[in-house]
Amino acid sequence: MSKVINFKEKFHKFDDHWSPRVIAEMNDYQFKLVKVEGEFVWHDHPVTDEVFIVIEGVLSIEFRDGNVTLNSGEMYVIPKGVEHKPVAKSECKIMIVVPKGVVNTGDSGSALTAENDVWV
């Protein structure tokens, strides 16, 4: 029997931004926690949708044709292939759901590309 996963406890274990930590796997999908602050890079994920859930703080997601703002207790599904850029004015704690192996910066090739499959 595995352990219950507590978001706050997991967030206490790391401080860097834009560096997803895997907290759980279901089938071939991973649930990842990320602390974000500032502007990420424009990118898309050509083969998969991506789910963002805001745990604490405020996250904006810019699209080429507009933007959305997510508060704590809100989620959003980025359709596959849609360019987006996450932005947070101050630190925001989020959970992402994507298939295992998906790179955070998609195919944009950025200095913000994080090591994949890092667990916390």
- Give me the residues that bind its own copies (CB under 8 A), please: 1-8, 23-27, 29, 31, 48-51, 55, 63, 65-66, 68-71, 73-77, 79-80, 97, 99
For the bound state, the minimum distance from the C-beta of residue 105 to its own copies, rounded and expressed in Å, comes to: 19
In angstroms, the Cα distances linking 108 to 15, 27, 81, 82, 115 are 24, 27, 12, 13, 15
Minimum CB–partner distance for residue 52 and its own copies (Å): 10
The rounded distance, in Å, linking the Cα atoms of 69 and 71 is 7
CB of 108 to its own copies, least distance (A): 20
Question: Judged by CB, which is closer to its own copies: 79, or 109?
Answer: 79
Task: Give, rounded to a whole angstrom, the gap between the first and last alpha carbons of the chain.
Answer: 18
Q: Are 92 and 36 in contact (CB under 8 A)?
A: yes
Nearby residues of 39 by Cβ (< 8 Å), 6 or more positions away: 85, 87
- Toward its own copies, which CB reaches closer, 4 or 111? 4
User: Shortest gap between Cβ of 68 and its own copies (angstroms)?
Assistant: 5
* Closer to its own copies by Cβ: residue 25 or 107: 25
